[in-house]
Amino acid sequence: MPLTQILSRIFVVFFIVAFLVFIDPVLAVIITTTLGGSYLAIYFLFQSRLAKLGDERFAANVIRSKVVTEVFGAIKELKVLNRERAFFDVFSANAYKIENNMATSNLISNLPSYIMECLTFGGILIIVLYFLLVKQSLGNTLPVIALYAFSGYRLMPALQGIFSAVTLLRFNVAVVNSLQESLSGVADVPNEWKTSEVIALPFERKIQLSSVFFAYPSAEFPVIQNLSLTIEKNQSIGLMGPTGAGKSTLVDLILGLLSPEKGSFTVDGTPVTPGNKLMWQRNIGFVPQSVFLSDDSLAANIALGVTREDIDYRAVEIAAKIANLHDFVITELPEGYETVIGERGIRLSGGQRQRIGIARALYHDPPVLVMDEATSALDGITEEAVIQAIRNLAGRKTIITIAHRLTTLKDCDVIFVIDKGRIVESGTYEELRGGSAIFKAMAKSDVQGLKDAL
Ligand SMILES: Nc1ncnc2c1ncn2[C@@H]1O[C@H](COP(=O)(O)OP(=O)(O)OP(=O)(O)O)[C@@H](O)[C@H]1O
Ligand SMILES: [Mg+2]
C-alpha cells in the first residue's frame, strides 16, 4: 500500500512541477527545492530512529504473542503457583512499548505537515511583502501569488503522502524482512490442496524402514540411528522403550511428518518422498500424545477438517463406538454429537479427550492406525474396553501402538523395544516377558534394573 501511494503521489507531483516549470521556471525551482528539501531533511533526520522504533515494536510483538500463548497453555499451573504476575508484567511492558512506538512513528509521519503549512503560507506572506515593498505594486503579482499558493496547496498533500508512506515503510522494515525470511524457500500452496481428492498410495504388502538416520536440526546427535524395521500389512506392532528413546520421532517418520536424513522409507517398495507423502498419509489415522480439540461440536471434532455439511454422521458414530465414546455422548451430553465442547476441550476430562482423538483417527476408516500413548490417560477399565475394541480391528488394519504400560501391548504381533534411537530387542509379549531384562525392568518400573539392562 505505501508503495502504490508513493507512486500515485509522485505522478501528481510530477505534473504540478512540470506545470510550474512551464509557467515560471524560477518559481518552480524555489517551490520544489524548499518543499522537497524540507521533507528530505526531515526524513534523513528521523529515518534511523524510525527503523529502530520498528525493530523494537517487532521484537515486543513477538514477546507479547508468546506470553499470551504460554499463559493460556499453562493457566492451571500458573494459578496454582500464583505466578501470573510475572507474565502480566512482561505482557504490559511489551504492549506499552508497541503502542508507544506506533504513536511515535505516527507523530513523526504527521508532524512535518504542520511545519510545511507554516513554511508555505509564511512563504506567501514574504512574497506579498516583497512585491509590496520592493516593487511597490501588487496588481501584476497577484497571479503569481495565486499560482504559488495554489501549487503549494496541491503539492503539499502529495509530498506529505509520499513522506508518510516512506516513514511507514521504514517503520515496518523489520516486519517485511521477517516475512521475507520466513517465506523464502516456502513453496506455493501445494497442488494437492487445490484438488480435494488425493488418491491414497497403494499399500498392500509392507512398510519398510532401512538403515534410517534422523537428527533434529538443533541437535548434535541423531535421535534415530541406523534403524531398520518392517511392518507387514494388517500386523499389529508395539513400540516401547524409556522416555526420550525416539519412539515419537520414529512414528513421525512413519507418518511422513519428518523425512529420514539417511536410509530409506518405503511402502510396498515405493519410497515415500515429499512429492507423494500426502498420498501415503491418506492411509493413516493418527492419535497423538496430546489430542488437540477445537471449539466446535463433538461431531466436528471427530471429523476434524471436514466442512459441516459434509460430515458423515454414521462414520462419526461408528468411530465413537470403537473409541468407547458413544455411550458417554448419548447419556451425558445434552445435545449429543452436536454438543460444543469448548476451546481446547476444556469441558472434557483427559480420558474423554483421548477417546475423541481415537474416534477422530478412525473416522476415515484408514487402513493404518498409529497411536502414540493414546490410551495412557484412560482408567484401567476404560483402557481395557478401548483396547478390546481396537483389538477387534486387528487383522483388518495395520496398527502401530506406542505405550508405556506394557499390558497395552499384550496383543501386538511384534513389540519393538527402542532405546537411544535403535531397536534393541523385538518379539511377542510372551517372548519378551520370558527373556528380556529391559522388558522385565520396565514391567516392574524398576529404574536400577532398567539402567543395568540398558
Ligand atoms: N522438535 C525437537 N527438536 C529437538 N529435539 C527433539 C525434538 N523432539 C524430540 N527431541 C529429542 O529427541 C529425543 C527423542 O524424543 P521422542 O519424542 O521421540 O521420544 P519418545 O521416545 O517419544 O519419548 P516419550 O516416551 O517421553 O514420549 C529426545 O531426546 C528429545 O529431546
Ligand atoms: Mg513420545
Which of 213, 216, 258, 261 maximizes ligand 1 atoms within 8 Å of its Cβ, making it the mutation to test the pocket?
216
CB distance 411 to 394 below 8 Å: yes
Q: Give one DSSP letter per residue of 59-93, joined into a string.
A: HHHHHHHHHHHHHHHTHHHHHHHT-HHHHHHHHHH
Please name the residue whose Cα sits nearest to atom 2 of ligand 1: 216
Residue that has been written with the C-alpha cell 520544489 in this structure: 32
Instruction: Check residue 294 and report its DSSP letter.
Output: -
* Nearest ligand atom owner, CA of 405: 1
The model's confidence at residue 290, banded by pLDDT at 50, 70 and 90, is confident
Q: Give one DSSP letter per residue of 92-107, joined into a string.
A: HHHHHHHHHHHHHHHH
User: What pLDDT score does 402 carry?
Assistant: 92
The model's confidence at residue 449, banded by pLDDT at 50, 70 and 90, is low
Ligand 2 geometric centre to CA of 371 (Å): 10
Residues 309-350: tens digit of each pLDDT: 889 999 999 999 988 889 988 998 888 899 888 766 667 777
Which residues, 6+ apart, have CB-to-CB distance to 191 below 8 Å?
Answer: none
User: What pLDDT score does 221 carry?
Assistant: 87
pLDDT at 143 > cutoff 90: no
Separation of CA 261 from chain center = 24
Q: Which of 16-30, 57-71, 112-126, 392-406 has the highest mean pLDDT?
A: 57-71
HEC readout, 301-344: HHCCCCCHHHCCHHHHHHHHHHCCCHHHHHHHCCCHHHCECCHH
Selection from 193, 207, 196, 252 nearest residue 367 by Cα: 207
User: What pLDDT score does 95 carry?
Assistant: 96
Any ligand 1 atom below 6 A from CB of 290: no
- Bridge partner list, 368: 284, 398
Please name the residue whose Cα sits nearest to atom 14 of ligand 1: 246
Please name the residue whose Cα sits nearest to atom 4 of ligand 1: 216
* Nearest ligand atom owner, CA of 404: 1
Longest dimension (CA), the chain: 118
Q: Which three cell numbers stand for residue 254?
A: 512413519
pLDDT at 265 > cutoff 80: yes
Phi (first) and psi of residue 78, to 5 degrees: -65, -40
Share of the chain above pLDDT 70, in %: 93
Average pLDDT of the segment spanning 269-285: 90
Share of the chain above pLDDT 90, in %: 40
* Domain map (residue ranges) of the chain: 2-183, 206-453
Residues 209-263: tens digit of each pLDDT: 999 999 998 888 899 999 999 999 999 999 998 888 999 999 999 999 999 999 9
Please name the residue whose Cα sits nearest to atom 9 of ligand 1: 249
Which residues, 6+ apart, have CB-to-CB distance to 421 below 8 Å?
Answer: 214, 222, 223, 224, 225, 227, 245, 246, 249
Any ligand 1 atom below 6 A from CB of 257: no
Does the predicted TM-score (pTM) go above 0.95?
Answer: no
Any ligand 1 atom below 6 A from CB of 244: yes
Which ligand 1 atom minimizes the distance to the CA of 241? Answer: 21
Any ligand 1 atom below 6 A from CB of 252: no
User: What pLDDT score does 129 carry?
Assistant: 81
What architecture is domain 206-453?
3-Layer(aba) Sandwich (3.40)
Please name the residue whose Cα sits nearest to atom 18 of ligand 1: 246
Which of 212, 239, 248 maximizes ligand 1 atoms within 8 Å of its Cβ, making it the mutation to test the pocket?
248
Residues 177-212: tens digit of each pLDDT: 888 888 887 766 666 665 567 788 899 999 999 999
Mean of all residue pLDDT scores within the chain: 86
User: What pLDDT score does 189 carry?
Assistant: 64
Residues 153-183: tens digit of each pLDDT: 888 889 999 999 999 998 998 888 888 888 8
Phi (first) and psi of residue 12, to 5 degrees: -65, -50
Any ligand 1 atom below 6 A from CB of 195: no
Q: Which of 94-98, 336-340, 360-364, 385-389 has the highest mean pLDDT?
A: 94-98
Q: Return the ∠ at Cα 147 (arms to 146 and 153), rounded to 5°.
A: 90
| Dihedral, 206, 210, 216, 220 alpha carbons, nearest 10 | 160
Instruction: Please give the CATH number for the structural domain made up of 2-183.
Output: 1.20.1560.10
Residues 352-380: tens digit of each pLDDT: 888 899 899 999 999 999 998 877 777 77
Residue that has been written with the C-alpha cell 536424513 in this structure: 261
Any ligand 1 atom below 6 A from CB of 245: yes
User: What pLDDT score does 307 carry?
Assistant: 86
CB distance 248 to 372 below 8 Å: yes
pLDDT at 146 > cutoff 70: yes
Any ligand 1 atom below 6 A from CB of 219: yes
